[in-house]
Amino acid sequence: MSLAVTLPPIHRERLSNGIELVVAERPGVPLAAARLVLRGGASLDPERRQGLAHLVALATRRGTRRRTGAQIDLAVESLGAELGSGVDEDATYYGISAPVEGLGTCLDILADVAARPTFPSAEVAKLRRREVAALAHDADEPSLLADRAMLQAAYEGHPYGHASEGRARHLSRATRGEVVSLHGAGHVPAAAILVVVGRVRTSDVLEQVRRRFAGWKGAGAVPPTPPPPAAPPSRIVVVDKSDVTQTQVRIASAGFPRRSPDYHAGAVASALLGGGFASRLMDAIRVNRGLSYSVRSRFLPSGEGGLFAISTFTKVETTAEIVKVALDETARFADGGPTQEELDRTASYLCGLFPLTLETHDQLAERLADLALYGLGEEEVTRFVERIRAVGAEEARAAARRYFPVDRRLVVAVGPAGKVAKALEPFGPVTVLPVGKVM
Amino acid sequence: MTDRAERILDVDAVRDHALPNGLRIRLLRDTSTPTVSYYTFFSVGSRNERVGLTGISHLFEHMMFNGAARYGPKEFDRVLESRGGHSNAYTSNDVTAYYEDFAADALPTVVDLESDRMRSLRIDEATLEQEREVVKEERLLRTENSVFGLMEEQLESLVFQSHPYRWPVIGWMEDIQRIGRSDCEAFFRTYYAPSNAAVYAVGDLDLDATIRLLERHYGDIPAGPAPVPVPQGEPQQRGERRAVIRFPAQAPALLAGWRGPPARHPDAAALDVLQVCLAVGESSRLRRKMVLEAEVAVSVSVSWGWRIDPGVFLAFVELPPGASPDRAEKILWAEIEKVAERGVSAAEVNRARALLRSGVLHELATHHGVAHALGQAEALLGDWREAGRALELYAAIQQADVRRAAREYLSEEQRSVVMLEPQRHAAGKAEAR
């Protein structure tokens, strides 16, 4: 099986104001996807204002010098388009997916939202109230609580150590002035990457982009990146959710940043351990023991560091068993490495899935934006298959030994502490946190 | 709009064929990427179940990955993944669908795998016990520890008093515990026979060769008995039905539902348009009124899923912590009544059509999406060609249709409401032993 992964011809240029522009023209459905990325993201949240970058990303579309929030909503949606915005630890993202004939208007609105928001006081106050209330609903989702607690414990004290949605008590004190200030610091053309993909003509897109984005001035520099994070501490954290009958479990260890030379060996090792239905963890936990509906492992690489994480869940009574099985399987893999059959199968699986992650205009736009954000070349896509195929059994084992949670590991469990903390004591000292400490 | 839609999904290019054993085959060649998506739809879902065996369709879906005569336990995924493919499946109220996405040259392997399990699935006690535990964990995840899952289960059993849509697709916990091997064997003979199935393959394939390949692999599998008809009795609703869930949640929520028309009814598309007018996008009526203006809701969503029998039109509202639901309810009912009385504007219908059109384009942008759309159309509407007519349907919906649909289906007398009342735990209560 071989699949040549090719990219459509890609036009790249840097506009005079500093915006990095990427345009890909490809056949397919008459849609276009545009993605505007601003370097920075939730790692720019000030001390005691976790969630501020997220609030900025939502607030920009609530009014600009030329349009009210309601006008933006109506203009976009009447074209059959959707405008989304969001934040992760490394960047703020605006995405729009539109029928090609509406692309010009959508780009105009995108430029307007990024460069010229007015942050009407009443709108910012409403958004702040809504986001604080939304966090209360998030607290009812055990899997979200587990992800939040893992980030917080793994990256304690580091700018990566919080969910981008932030915390209720921080957000509820955020002022409009803080929103304006963070927008000013991060939403500058020098920090911007704009990607357009679709059934478009590159020359048309260039003309549109130059017209709509050239007026975006701003002398600000690219925001600083955070320092590399320390390795997660070796500890056990139980978030006390006394009302659930199923425990959410995360097991984490230090991973690597996105540009790491271990990226491909890590991808293969992680897929062997916990990717797909035939992986070691799936076999041990779901198929052989019926302990869970799902288990997976993955690397979570960011700009300056990363994690390796195993995620699963099981009924409260079998919490200790699932942690033990997961740790045993992980250690067994790190010790012995994969068989040749496993290695070949996993490489085929990853290489077969890969083209399907680039099928739609939105998917390709997202991929090209990530490459630009992390300073990676097109060969990340075009030579993916070759690089995955080149990973040998010994390299996969070395990646597992280096990164998997064998000697040092952070275990996070969300469940009734009265039962779960005791069950996890054999794995090390347990810290119990109330839900409020992770929200 | 219509012309463009037909070029996007050229239904005339679909090759349809049926084997003597009843297996329906629909193939579409599209060489834009060197992959194939292969869907197998079985005409069985929770609507074909009975009390005592609820959840068997879904549990059985799990059993399908546990080995057959030629490919034994654990081999299905291993063989498929070694050929660069991946698979999954889902069970709904109406259908059970399996898919594989893979590099085109793996087609013979996929056909071999799929026909093997249709012909000779192994159903043994040990595997059944294992899958039962997995499904129980799935139910704990999606229903018993999920606010929305709890509310949805409660709502459907209010909206439907008699029809099998009354129980959740995953089934009641006690039934999951009860389903036995002989139940599974009888289920397999009837519902997984080729006479109850259809195969959809879309992608880089040769039509004639694929038909021959399928004939070779599936041709000797015997047809099954005709499934028993699904009971349709449902008492007429003559007033609001209401339930309260007290649960240790952080914030209240409201879920309302109305019984709609079956998928084949022309009003199904009108309700799609109404759904978008009400709650898709920031400028939709409910989103604007409840979230952006009055701030009585943190979020609001409306869902209308087409089903073979009359399905349910749902509105879900998440409220701010500590808020009284009265004001949110009042605004919600008033907005719906407003549509029923005065209708929606032409601009709103145009906006809805544009958003629905984009949704269809997104769906049809991949081989996977096209294969699924063909299968879904045949399962729900009786004809895969309907997949190519979605935009035509929406283009035909007028303002008056939206208003009539709101009036006909979303009345106070016909609504059911589930309220989530957060209940705080007393400290230490859960730790009592």
SS3 A390: coil
Amino acid occupying residue A273: L
* Strand A246-254 relative to strand A306-315, pairing: antiparallel
Q: Would you call B430 and A286 a contact, using CB atoms and an 8 Å cutoff?
A: no
At A35 the three-state DSSP class reads: strand
Distance between CA atoms of A172 and A55, rounded to whole angstroms?
Answer: 11
Contact between B29 and B200 under an 8 Å Cβ cutoff? The reply is no
A67's enclosing H/E stretch is none
**pLDDT by residue, tens only, chain B of 433 residues:** 334 443 578 899 999 999 999 999 999 999 988 899 999 999 999 999 999 999 999 999 999 999 999 999 999 999 999 999 999 999 999 999 999 999 999 999 999 999 999 999 999 999 999 999 999 999 999 999 999 999 999 999 999 999 999 999 999 999 999 999 999 999 999 999 999 999 999 999 999 999 999 999 999 999 999 999 999 999 999 999 999 999 999 999 999 999 999 999 999 999 999 999 999 999 999 999 999 999 999 999 999 999 999 999 999 999 999 998 999 999 999 999 999 999 999 999 999 999 999 999 999 999 999 999 999 999 999 999 999 999 999 999 999 999 999 999 999 999 999 999 998 754 333 333 3
Contacts A–B by Cβ distance under 8 A: 206
Architecture of domain B14-218: 2-Layer Sandwich (3.30)
Q: Choosing among A318, A340, A356, A384, which should be mutated to test the B contact, i.e. which has the most B CBs within 10 A?
A: A356
Q: Do A416 and B249 touch (CB under 8 A)?
A: no
B361 and A361 in contact by Cβ < 8 A? no
Distances (CA, A) of B232 to A337, A384, B304, B415: 57, 53, 20, 19
Q: Judge: B78–A3 Cβ closer than 8 Å, yes or no.
A: no
Q: Within an 8 Å CB–CB cutoff, is residue A434 touching chain B? A: no
| B89 interfacial to chain A (CB closer than 8 Å) | no
Min Cα–Cα distance to chain A from B39, Å: 16
Paired tokens of B132: 């039962």
Nearest to A344 among B82, B144, B146 (CB): B82
Closest alpha carbon within chain A to B136: A293
Residues of A in contact with B36 (CB under 8 A): none
- Name every residue whose Cβ is closer than 8 Å to that of residue A372 and which is 6 or more positions away in sequence: A20, A22, A37, A193, A195
The highest-level CATH class for domain A235-437 is: alpha beta
d(CA B220, CA B223): 9
B365 Cβ under 8 Å from any chain A Cβ = yes
- Please judge whether B354 and A28 are an interchain contact, meaning their C-beta atoms are less than 8 angstroms apart: no
For residue A300, give the H/E element and its range.
Answer: strand A295-301
Residue A122 touches partner B, C-beta closer than 8 Å:
no
Contact A246 B351 (CB under 8 A): no
- The alpha-carbon gap from B162 to the nearest alpha carbon of chain A, in Å, equals 30
Answer left, alpha or beta for residue A40, where phi above 0 means left and psi between -120 and 50 means alpha.
left
Residues in chain A with pLDDT values less than 70: 1-4
A347: enclosing H helix or E strand: helix A340-353
Interface test with A, best of B101, B110, B134 (most A CBs within 10 A): B134
A168 touches chain B (CB under 8 A): no
- Interface probe for A, chosen from B137, B146, B353 (most Cβ of A below 10 Å), is B137
Q: Does domain A10-213 have CATH number 3.40.50.970?
A: no
Q: Is A31 on the interface with B (CB under 8 A)?
A: yes
For residue B58, the Cα-to-chain-centroid distance in whole angstroms is 12
d(CA A352, CA A388): 11
Q: Residue B233 corresponds to which amino acid? A: G
Chain B residues in contact with A97 (beta carbon < 8 A): 358, 362
Q: Encode burial over A209-226: b for 16+ CB neighbours within 10 A, e otherwise.
A: beebbeebeeeeeebeeb
* pLDDT score of B7: 54
Q: Which two tokens stand for residue A250?
A: 């995360």
Contact A290 B133 (CB under 8 A): yes
Residue B136 CA from chain centroid, whole number: 20
Classify strands A410-415 and A235-240 as parallel, antiparallel or unpaired: parallel
Q: In A, residues 209-248, which contact B (CB 8 Å cutoff)?
A: 242-246
Give the span between the Cα atoms of A203 and A139, in whole angstroms: 48
Start-end ranges of CATH 3.30.830.10 in chain B? 14-218, 241-424
Q: How close does chain B come to A431, measured CA to CA in Å? A: 17
Contact B318/A137, CB-based, under 8 Å? yes
Query: Which of chain B's residues have a Cβ under 8 Å away from the Cβ of A315?
Result: 136-137, 140
Tell me the backbone φ, ψ of residue B216, rounded to 5 degrees. -65, -40
Q: Which of residues 170-199 of B touch A (CB under 8 A)?
A: none
Write down how long chain A is: 439
Contact between B297 and B290 under an 8 Å Cβ cutoff? The reply is yes
Task: Annotate A303-324 with DSSP letters as a single string.
Answer: SS-EEEEEEEEEEGGGHHHHHH
- Establish if A125 touches chain B: CB-CB under 8 angstroms: no
* Coil/strand/helix, residue B121: strand
CATH 1.10.260.40 is held by the domain B241-424 = no
Q: What is the CA radius of gyration of chain B?
A: 23
Q: How far is CA A35 from CA A22, A187, A282, in A?
A: 10, 14, 35
Q: What is the mean pLDDT of chain A?
A: 96
With residue A34 as reference, give the H or E element that holds it: strand A31-39
Full-model pTM: 0.95
* From-to residues of CATH 3.30.830.10 in chain A: 10-213, 235-437
